[in-house]
Structure 1
Amino acid sequence: MSLDVLPRRAAARRGHRPALSTFVLGLSGLVLLAAAEEVVSRSGLVSTQYLPPASVILARLGELLTNAPFLADLGATAGSAVLGLVIAVPVGLVVGLVLGLVPAAHTATRIVVDLLRPVPAVAIVPLLVLVTGTGRASVVITIVSATVWPVLLNTIHGVRDVDGVALQTARLYGARLPRRLAEIVLPSAAPVIAAGVRVSIGLALVIAVAAELLIGTDSGVGAYLLAATQGGSHTDYAFAAVCAAGLLGLVVNWAARALERRFLPWSEGEPR
């Protein structure tokens, strides 16, 4: 065996340990939260009708994850979130590139961006219901209006932070804009853009459920929550549905990070 294999194996083991310890710490925090909720619920401080014990919620979660109608609702919410992201991410990326690369465009639109960015996406729901009705279109538009901003703003900042000397040198050597974008701008800005995409992914599920609740759709996790909380008799299933949506978001976030590590290995130093 070559001796240089040993340092590589030791480094690999060291790389796995932080990830394992992070997972264990995160899991322990979740267990402590569930235990505290169980104690509060069982103590009688809050009625179990409104705050079911964590053990009951976990049992209901197991039921829901094997229940075809609920899985269909979860799929409807996830589908809306994915469709919204498919629209929002390219729009945010393209517009962000333009505003980041063209100073005049950035200056001309700064007031508009600062004016629209703080507006909550759910604030436009009543108008959307009037225009498009209570169908999936209203949910998707609400998701797009919320998730486009992290991608747009991170793209602008990522592009504007690209090394100006590198860009000027590329221009002097005759590199055209497409080449400068492909070889300098996008690789440099990619970690910041990816961080914006991750934020949008997490936001998409939250906005999807909130929009379903406000719009009153006939399917989705939001529709399930409305049905489960009517009369206050099935709050345990409502909490379980929220946990199921959270699990879906957690899995999607892990997948997004894995893809980022695979295709953007130079972004490992970026904050997460």
Structure 2
Amino acid sequence: MAITSIRRFPATGKTRVAGSNALVVGAIAVLICLAVWEVGARGPLAGGPFPTVGAIAGGLVGLVGEATFWSSLGETLMTALVGLGLAVLSGVLLGVVLGSVDFVYRSTRLIIEVLKPIPPIVVMPLVLLLLGPTTEMGVFLVFYGCLWPVLIQTVAGVRDADPVLLDTARSFGFGRLQRAVRIVLPGAAAFIVTGVRIAGAAAFVIAVVSELVGGAPGIGRDLFVAQNAGLYAQMYALVFVMGVVGLAFNTGLGAFEKWMLHWHPSVRREVVA
């Protein structure tokens, strides 16, 4: 009889070297971009809305030392996280219902197909009339923009559940709630996490846009104010902060995916021998 064993192998030295090389290449690319920007700011673009790298760094240092900057950054992060959390909770609950009950799925499919292509910025004027330029307005726009990928992925995962497992659980007397918790949700986890990653990538962007265009409090509104005031060094410093926060947001979502799906074959490093 053949014996099947599952062994976990640590990362090899080649993998570590490849990762180090990627970091070095990325750092070199960043330095080249900064050098090109500096040459342009001191040469053909001098005197325009393109400050030098040193001026932008000075603007960044000035921002970090201001309490209002941290308050605005906290507002933006709170808007993105609260809106994303509400979207995930609502999307998963609705997705389980829509995916489990075929009549409800067929009844609402047309409505979902009509609403999901509408971007949040299109509904912003209506939301502004109802809520004004407030944090609640930003939270609603993030919720609206992030709901659809989570909902659609959850429905797809629920409808992809193995019917044999469901019938077996039903024959053992499992109720609808037990089947959903023990079979449907674990089977749909990969779909749901994918939807959360798609939504999470958009959450921070939507939050900033709601502040930049809609006037909600946050670093997006600070960016708009700096642009109108001609504070270009501060404006580009805020753009840099947005890029760093967006990168951290995506990195955190990647870590969340690995934590949630540590058992999934696409995440774990296991070899069947």
TM-score exceeds 0.5: yes
State the secondary structure of the residue aligned to 1:224: helix
For each residue in 1:152-176, what CA deviation from the matched residue of structure 2 results, as whole angstroms up to 9, or x when unmatched?
1110111111222221222222222
2:10 matched to which residue of 1? 12
Counterpart-to-counterpart distance in 1, 2:215 and 2:135: 10
Larger relative contact order (Cα-Cα within 8 Å, sequence gap ≥ 6): 2
**For residues 44-193 of structure 1, what are the structure 2 equivalents within 5 Å?**
44=43, 46=45, 49-54=48-53, 56-193=55-192
| CA distance 1:108–1:86, change in 2 (3 Å) | same
State the 1:23 CA deviation. Answer: 6.9
Once residues 20 and 99 of structure 2 are traced to their aligned partners in structure 1, the CA distance between those partners, rounded to angstroms, is 37
- Which residue of the other structure, out of 227, 230, 234, is the alignment partner of 2:228? 230
Q: Which moved more, 1:167-176 or 1:70-79?
A: 167-176
Distance 1:156 1:26, change over 3 A: farther
Question: Which residue in the other structure is 1:260 paired with?
Answer: 257
Q: Against the structure 1 CA distance between its residues 66 and 119, is the aligned structure 2 distance closer, same or farther, given a 3 Å change threshold?
A: same
| Alpha carbons of structure 1 residues 264 and 241: separation in structure 2 relative to 1, 3 Å | same
Q: When the two structures are superposed, what TM-score results if normalisation uses the length of structure 1?
A: 0.84
Q: For residues 47 and 151 of structure 2, what CA distance do their matches in structure 1 show?
A: 44
1:29-52 alpha-carbon deviations (Å, 9 max, x no partner): 364155235315523454563344
User: Matched residues in 1 for 2:24 and 2:161: separation?
Assistant: 38
- Alpha-carbon RMSD across the aligned residues, in angstroms, is 2.6
Q: Is the 8 A contact 1:202 1:253 kept in 2?
A: yes
Give the gaps of 5 or more residues in structure 1.
Answer: 1-6
State the percentage of identical aligned residues.
32
Is 1:207 aligned with 2:203?
no
After TM superposition, give the deviation of residue 222 of structure 1 in Å: 1.1
Which residue does 1:242 correspond to in 2?
239
Cα distance in 1 between the residues matched to 2:47 and 2:18: 34
- 1:262 is displaced (CA, Å) by 2.6
Provide the C-alpha distance between the structure 1 equivalents of 2:122 and 2:200, rounded to a whole number of angstroms. Answer: 20
Task: Give the drift of 1:82.
Answer: 1.6
Comparing 63-72 with 115-124, greater Cα deviation is found at: 63-72
In structure 2, relative to structure 1, the CA distance for the partners of 1:46 and 1:119 (3 Å cut) is farther
Q: Which whole-Å CA distance do the structure 1 matches of 2:205 and 2:258 have between them?
A: 25
Letter in 2 for 1:142: L
- Check 1:235–1:38 CA distance in 2 against 1; reply closer, same or farther (3 A cut): farther
Judged with a 3 Å threshold, the aligned counterparts in structure 2 of structure 1 residues 130 and 27 are, in CA distance, closer, same or farther, namely farther
Provide closer, same or farther for how the CA distance between residues 177 and 42 of structure 1 changes in structure 2, counting only shifts above 3 A: same
Q: 1:195 & 1:55 partners in 2: Cα distance? A: 40
Extract unaligned runs of 5+ from structure 2: 1-6, 268-273
Would you say the 8 A contact 1:42–1:48 is kept in 2?
no
The one-letter amino acid paired with 1:164 is P
1:121 offset after TM fit, Å? 0.5
TM-score (norm: length of structure 2): 0.84
Residues 57 and 227 of structure 1: CA distance in aligned 2, closer, same or farther (over 3 Å):
same
Note closer, same or farther for the CA distance 1:163–1:35 as it changes in structure 2 (3 Å cut): same
Equivalent residues in 2 for 1:16-55 (5 A)?
A: 18=15, 21-22=18-19, 25=22, 28-29=25-26, 31-33=28-30, 35-36=32-33, 38-40=35-37, 42-43=39-40, 44=43, 46=45, 49-54=48-53
Distance 1:108 1:13 in 2: 49
